[in-house]
Chains A and B, each alone.
Chain A
Amino acid sequence: MKKIFSNPLTIAGFVIIASIMLLALFAPFIAPYDPDAIDVKAILLGPSSQHFMGTDGLGRDVFSRMLYGARISLLVGFVAVGIATLIGIVLGAIAGFYRGWVDTVIMRLVDVMLSIPSFFLILAVIAFLTPSIWNIMIVIGLTSWMGVTRLVRAEFLSLRNREFVLAAQTLGAKDFRLIFTHLLPNSLTPIIVSSILGIGSAVLLESGLSFLGLGVQPPQASWGNILTDGKIYIQFAWWLSLFPGLAILITVLGYNLLGDGLRDAYNPRSSQH
């Protein structure tokens, strides 16, 4: 623990993520306005003491919408990565533990999935379903499990023949027990690191999809769909584009700093570089 918090960048990442979580959690108390309240007398106002980040094309307070948008980003990030990590752990564990033809089949599936441009894949699936926050989370989860699978498999392959595992096996431990009490706990660190980095990519993906109108649907606020308005009003209202973009940048930066810092703390080899 001490080592983790000796790196100022890791602390920065941690502080960023913790603050955004608090802002999202307490959004109803912090937000000065109802995020969906339309005010025709306050359309496209620039940042001021009344509207900290200005108002949008329907006179809604951008700061309030940003706070609620933070909830969406966090929710999508966590659920999508949760799904991906779960699939990755199951498939990677099966492949790395049983090896043989099961391993071959799973790893070839990973290769195939990686060969389809993932943004195309996600958009195609969304075209066949309907865009909504739940579909977005599921689709991002179902199309980003390949990295975790490879990681878990590699961890399992290297742990599989270690003495403590072989000893447990000789003592009669069942496969299930070997996987869950011996192999998985020893592979947790890289899984956690890759999940944290994965949340950052999921936040980026969600904002991109919402920006294109294929993600979180208005009137529900998300950083991505505030930017869609920003594009429409780009000639008149720079604040509509600037703030959500900065929020996404800072959030993703936070996850990346935290993830990288954790990796360096647990993997001395990478920090030498």
Chain B
Amino acid sequence: MLKYIIKRFLWMIPMLIGISLISFFIMQLAPGDITTTEANFNPKASEESRQKLRAMYNLDKPIIVQYGLWLKRMATLDFGNSFASHQRPVFWQSKDKDGNVTLGMIQEALPITLLINVLSLALIIMIALPLGVISALKQNQFADRAITVFVFIGFAIPGFWLALMLMYWTGVQHQWLPISGLQSMGSEHLSWFSQTIDFIRHLILPVFISAITGLAGISLFTRNGMLEVLHQDYITTARSKGLSENRVVYGHALRNALLPLITLLGLSIPGLIGGSVIAESIFAINGMGKLFYDAVLMRDFPVIMGILTIGAFLTLIGNLLADVAYAWADPRVRRGVMQ
């Protein structure tokens, strides 16, 4: 098992190199060079400071050296400072000479996005699993058909539109839920408990919207996985042993149908992270998605490159965890791995 994890971990290195190549290629798409945009933010930027910037991004060196240096910066997670936000560090906090700490932009935004995504993954599993199981057990009956319609609509519905409609319905018409940000104005004066409630109320819509786009896939997948497993010989054996239908379904079938789901959850991470752009910009939540969106609008290249890289890195970690969890959960893979 340990050997497998190490091997799987080392596999990330060539992947990271590939990611660095692609992100480096994207940087080359910039019209002129990135110092042009910096100059736009700061009209007073002298030719001298632009030269300094060019030297910092090594634009004066041959392209292969530039790539080598980009790789080195990626390896040390040094994405420089933002153009648009008063030179704030992109990734992690920095200290100036007087010991004042400036928090990194990603450092601040990442926990919020992770929280929303973890919650929506939990919600997806809580809703999609029962739907998929019911659908499989009642194959071709009314419940199955109703769930299938729901799945088709779930695949086709634009998340941002649903967000708008829910904002209108719950926020504008009935004023049940707050529709922007993560805390109400003035909530810092409230008690700790009311603050938490306020925070949770703000989270409901964004989490629900992020979950809804992932629901359809997982429930369809669970249904098909269950159907496949229910036709296996060991299920017939379990039934003929006289086990109750519940034990057969939940003890024998579901466990095996769930295995591939681990991988699917791992694979759905990039979609969730990418989807945070829309959810966060609609609900004005300062997570990775909104940070990225704002950076794109302002052409704040260090932030764009930083988030792109960190997003890819998170996806790799997610896939790694999924693979390891799969190997841990499935004795066949685990033994195969150990040999």
Interface of A (DSSP majority class): helix
**Would you call B304 an interface residue if the criterion is a C-beta within 8 Å of the partner chain's C-beta atoms?**
yes
**Would you call A80 an interface residue if the criterion is a C-beta within 8 Å of the partner chain's C-beta atoms?**
no
Is the pair A125, B26 in contact by a Cβ cutoff of 8 Å?
Answer: yes
**Would you call A126 an interface residue if the criterion is a C-beta within 8 Å of the partner chain's C-beta atoms?**
yes
Is the pair B296, A117 in contact by a Cβ cutoff of 8 Å?
Answer: no
How many angstroms between the C-alpha atoms of A242 and B275 in the bound complex? 21
**Would you call A40 an interface residue if the criterion is a C-beta within 8 Å of the partner chain's C-beta atoms?**
no
Question: B271 to chain A: which residues have CB within 8 Å?
Answer: 117-119
For the complex formed, measure the closest distance between the CB of B295 and the CB atoms of chain A, giving whole angstroms.
7
**Would you call A58 an interface residue if the criterion is a C-beta within 8 Å of the partner chain's C-beta atoms?**
no
A191-218, CB < 8 A from B: 200, 204, 207-208, 211-214
Is the pair B311, A238 in contact by a Cβ cutoff of 8 Å?
Answer: no
For the complex formed, measure the closest distance between the CB of B302 and the CB atoms of chain A, giving whole angstroms.
12
**Would you call B107 an interface residue if the criterion is a C-beta within 8 Å of the partner chain's C-beta atoms?**
no
Is the pair B160, A208 in contact by a Cβ cutoff of 8 Å?
Answer: yes
Q: A234-B168, A249-B161 are in contact. Are A212 and B281 (CB under 8 A)?
A: yes
Is the pair B296, A127 in contact by a Cβ cutoff of 8 Å?
Answer: yes
Contact of B26 among A112, A124, A208, A252 (CB under 8 A): A124
How many angstroms between the C-alpha atoms of A123 and B300 in the bound complex? 12
For the complex formed, measure the closest distance between the CB of A56 and the CB atoms of chain B, giving whole angstroms.
15
How many angstroms between the C-alpha atoms of A249 and B164 in the bound complex? 14
For the complex formed, measure the closest distance between the CB of A90 and the CB atoms of chain B, giving whole angstroms.
19
**Would you call A37 an interface residue if the criterion is a C-beta within 8 Å of the partner chain's C-beta atoms?**
no
Question: A238 to chain B: which residues have CB within 8 Å?
Answer: 168
Contact of A208 among B153, B158, B168 (CB under 8 A): B158
What number of residue pairs across chains A and B have CB atoms under 8 A from each other?
149
Contact of A117 among B15, B30, B228, B312 (CB under 8 A): B312
How many angstroms between the C-alpha atoms of A127 and B304 in the bound complex? 9
Is the pair B15, A124 in contact by a Cβ cutoff of 8 Å?
Answer: no
A231-251, CB < 8 A from B: 231, 234-235, 238, 241-242, 244-245, 248-250
Question: A250 to chain B: which residues have CB within 8 Å?
Answer: 156
Question: A125 to chain B: which residues have CB within 8 Å?
Answer: 26, 29
Question: B304 to chain A: which residues have CB within 8 Å?
Answer: 123-124, 127
Is the pair A249, B153 in contact by a Cβ cutoff of 8 Å?
Answer: yes
Question: A111 to chain B: which residues have CB within 8 Å?
Answer: 15, 18
Is the pair B18, A109 in contact by a Cβ cutoff of 8 Å?
Answer: yes
Question: B307 to chain A: which residues have CB within 8 Å?
Answer: 120
Is the pair A129, B29 in contact by a Cβ cutoff of 8 Å?
Answer: yes
Give the bracket for the number of chain B residues in contact with chain A: 35 or more
Question: A230 to chain B: which residues have CB within 8 Å?
Answer: 164
Is the pair B22, A212 in contact by a Cβ cutoff of 8 Å?
Answer: no
Question: A95 to chain B: which residues have CB within 8 Å?
Answer: none
Question: A30 to chain B: which residues have CB within 8 Å?
Answer: none
**Would you call A256 an interface residue if the criterion is a C-beta within 8 Å of the partner chain's C-beta atoms?**
yes
Residue of A at shortest CB range from B273? A117
Is the pair B274, A207 in contact by a Cβ cutoff of 8 Å?
Answer: no
Contact of A116 among B139, B165, B278, B315 (CB under 8 A): B315
Q: Mark B145-161, 1 if CB is under 8 A from A, else 0.
A: 00000001101111111
20 further interface pairs, Cβ-Cβ under 8 Å (given A116-B270, A119-B278, A212-B277): A115-B315, A116-B315, A119-B274, A120-B274, A120-B277, A120-B308, A121-B26, A121-B308, A123-B296, A124-B23, A125-B26, A126-B296, A128-B31, A214-B296, A214-B297, A245-B164, A249-B161, A257-B152, A273-B139, A273-B228
19 contacts between A and B (CB under 8 A): A112-B19, A112-B22, A114-B270, A116-B270, A117-B273, A119-B271, A119-B277, A119-B278, A120-B277, A120-B311, A124-B26, A124-B305, A128-B299, A200-B156, A213-B297, A242-B165, A245-B158, A245-B165, A248-B156
Please provide the 4 A-B residue pairs with the shortest distance between their CB atoms, ordered closest to farther: A119-B274, A245-B161, A112-B18, A117-B274
Q: Which residues of A are interface residues toward B (Cβ below 8 A)?
A: 108-109, 111-121, 123-129, 200, 204, 207-208, 211-214, 227, 230-231, 234-235, 238, 241-242, 244-245, 248-250, 252-253, 256-257, 273
